[in-house]
Amino acid sequence: MRKSTSLCIVFLVVFSLVPAAKFVSALYGTKIIDGNLDDWGTLDLIGQAKDNGLAGAKLDKLYVAWDDQYLYIAIKTNNTESWGVAYGIGIDVDPGTGNGYTGGTSPSDAWGRHIGFGSGYAVDYQIYFWWDGNTGMGSNNFITWTGSGWDYKSLADVGANFAYTGDTSTGLQVLEIKIPWNALGGKPNKLALISWIAGGSESSAVSSVPWDVTLESLDPPFASWYGGDEWGDSDYFTELVEVQIAPKTIDGDLSDWASYELVGVSTLDGPDGADLDKLYVSYDDQYLYIALTTNNTQSWDVAYGIGIDVLDGGYTGDQDSWGRKIAFSRGIDYELYFWWSGGDGAITSANFNRYNGYVGNNYWESWDYNFASFDYAYTGNSNGLQTLEIRIPWSALGGGVSQVALIAWIAGGDGSSAVDTVPLDPAVDGSDWTDQDYLSNFAIIEIPIPKPELTVSISSDVLDVEQWQPANITIKVKNIGEVDAQNVTVHLYDGSNLLKSWVVDLPANTEVILTYLYPYSEAWGVHTLKAVVDPENKIEEVNEGNNVATLDIIVGQVAERQNKLVRLGMYVWPRIYPAKYEETKKLVEEVASMGLPGNIIEEFELNLNESLALFNEGKSLIYTPNYELRGALKMFSAYSRLLRLQREIKDFLESLEFKKKIDGSLSDWNETSLVAQNKAGAGSGAYLDALYVDYDDKYLYIALSTKNMESWRIAYGFALDYKEGGYTGDTDAWDRKIGFTRGVDTEIYLYWHGPFFDEPGTNSITTAELAIWNGNGWSYIPLFKNAAVKYTGGENGLQILEMAIPWELLGGKPEKIYIVAWITGANPGDSAVTTIPDDPSVHDSDNEWGDEDIISTFAEVYIK
pLDDT tier, 542 (very low <50, low <70, confident <90, very high otherwise): low
In terms of pLDDT, which residue wins out, 247 or 439? Answer: 439
Q: Is residue 14 part of a domain?
A: no
Percent of the chain with pLDDT over 70: 93
- 716-753: pLDDT as tens digits: 999 999 999 999 998 999 999 999 999 999 999 999 99
pLDDT tier, 42 (very low <50, low <70, confident <90, very high otherwise): low
794 and 686 belong to one structural domain: yes
pLDDT tier, 522 (very low <50, low <70, confident <90, very high otherwise): confident
Q: Using CA atoms, how far apart are residues 356 and 365, in angstroms rounded to an integer? A: 8
- 587-646: pLDDT as tens digits: 888 777 766 676 777 888 888 889 899 989 988 888 888 888 888 888 888 888 889 988
C-alpha pair distances (Å), 253 with each of 375, 376, 388: 14, 11, 9
pLDDT at 130 over 80: yes
For the ranges 327-341, 565-579, 613-627, the one whose mean pLDDT is highest = 327-341
723 and 782 belong to one structural domain: yes
The contacts of residue 748 (CB under 8 Å, 6+ apart) are 702, 717, 718, 720, 768, 769, 770, 771, 783, 803, 805
The contacts of residue 680 (CB under 8 Å, 6+ apart) are 687, 838
What radius of gyration, in Å, describes the C-alpha atoms of the chain?
33
441 and 492 belong to one structural domain: no
Q: Kindly report the pTM of this predicted structure.
A: 0.48
Last residue of a domain, one of 216, 244, 272: 244
Single-letter residue type at 662 = I
Alpha helices in 593-718, H assignment, sequence order:
598-621, 628-656
Query: How far from each other are the two terminal CA atoms of the chain, in whole angstroms?
Result: 42
For helices 573-592 and 598-621, angle between their N-to-C axes, nearest 10 degrees: 170
* Mean pLDDT of the region 103-112: 95
Classify 692 as helix, strand or coil.
strand
Q: Using CA atoms, how far apart are residues 284 and 28, in angstroms rounded to an integer? A: 5
The pLDDT score that the predictor gives to residue 298 is 97
Q: Using CA atoms, how far apart are residues 739 and 316, in angstroms rounded to an integer? A: 54
pLDDT tier, 534 (very low <50, low <70, confident <90, very high otherwise): very high
140 and 82 belong to one structural domain: yes
In terms of pLDDT, which residue wins out, 115 or 654? Answer: 115
* Mean pLDDT of the region 175-195: 95
- 435-454: pLDDT as tens digits: 999 999 999 988 766 678 89
pLDDT at 113 over 60: yes
Q: Using CA atoms, how far apart are residues 529 and 519, in angstroms rounded to an integer? A: 13
Q: How far is CA 558 from the centre of its chain?
A: 50
The pLDDT score that the predictor gives to residue 384 is 98
C-alpha pair distances (Å), 440 with each of 282, 330, 709, 859: 21, 7, 74, 55
Q: Is residue 4 part of a domain?
A: no
pLDDT at 823 over 70: yes
Q: Using CA atoms, how far apart are residues 309 and 390, in angstroms rounded to an integer? A: 16
Q: Which domain holds residue 775?
A: 671-862
Last residue of a domain, one of 399, 428, 446: 446
646 and 693 belong to one structural domain: no
Q: Is residue 250 part of a domain?
A: no
pLDDT tier, 24 (very low <50, low <70, confident <90, very high otherwise): very low
* Mean pLDDT of the region 218-246: 71
* Mean pLDDT of the region 136-150: 97
Q: Is residue 541 part of a domain?
A: yes
Q: Please return the burial class of 106, using the count of CB atoms within 10 Å of its CB with bins 0-12, 13-18 and 19+.
A: exposed
The pLDDT score that the predictor gives to residue 450 is 65
pLDDT at 74 over 70: yes
612 and 756 belong to one structural domain: no
* CA-closest candidate to residue 441, choices 546, 329, 334, 600: 329
The C-alpha angle 149, 152, 153, rounded to 5 degrees, equals: 155
Q: Is residue 398 part of a domain?
A: yes
In terms of pLDDT, which residue wins out, 107 or 653? Answer: 107
Mean pLDDT of the chain: 89
168 and 267 belong to one structural domain: no
Q: Using CA atoms, how far apart are residues 169 and 165, in angstroms rounded to an integer? A: 12
The contacts of residue 626 (CB under 8 Å, 6+ apart) are none
* Mean pLDDT of the region 758-764: 93
Q: How far is CA 565 from the centre of its chain?
A: 49
Q: Is residue 1 part of a domain?
A: no
Per mean pLDDT, which range of 47-56, 177-186, 385-394 is the poorest? Answer: 47-56
Beta strand ranges found along 344-468 (DSSP E): 346-355, 367-369, 375-381, 384-393, 403-411, 418-422, 437-439, 443-446, 454-460, 464-465
Beta strand ranges found along 443-595 (DSSP E): 443-446, 454-460, 464-465, 471-479, 485-494, 497-506, 510-518, 525-533, 548-555
- 4-14: pLDDT as tens digits: 333 333 333 32
CATH number of the structural domain spanning residue 115: 2.60.40
408 and 332 belong to one structural domain: yes
pLDDT at 118 over 70: yes
Residue 771 near residue 727 (C-beta atoms within 8 A) = no
Last residue of a domain, one of 607, 631, 656: 656
313 and 201 belong to one structural domain: no
Q: How many domains does the chain have?
A: 5
- 470-484: pLDDT as tens digits: 999 999 999 977 688
The pLDDT score that the predictor gives to residue 839 is 95
Percent of the chain with pLDDT over 90: 67
Q: Is residue 337 part of a domain?
A: yes
In terms of pLDDT, which residue wins out, 857 or 593? Answer: 857
pLDDT at 17 over 70: no
* CA-closest candidate to residue 337, choices 363, 312, 369, 305: 305
pLDDT tier, 713 (very low <50, low <70, confident <90, very high otherwise): very high
Q: Is residue 267 part of a domain?
A: yes
The pLDDT score that the predictor gives to residue 404 is 93
584 and 626 belong to one structural domain: yes
Q: CB neighbours (10 Å) of residue 28?
A: 17
- 654-686: pLDDT as tens digits: 666 778 888 889 999 999 999 999 988 889 999
80 and 104 belong to one structural domain: yes
pLDDT tier, 301 (very low <50, low <70, confident <90, very high otherwise): very high
CATH number of the structural domain spanning residue 509: 2.60.40.10
The pLDDT score that the predictor gives to residue 448 is 66
525 and 610 belong to one structural domain: no
Q: Using CA atoms, how far apart are residues 697 and 657, in angstroms rounded to an integer? A: 10
Residue 322 near residue 410 (C-beta atoms within 8 A) = no
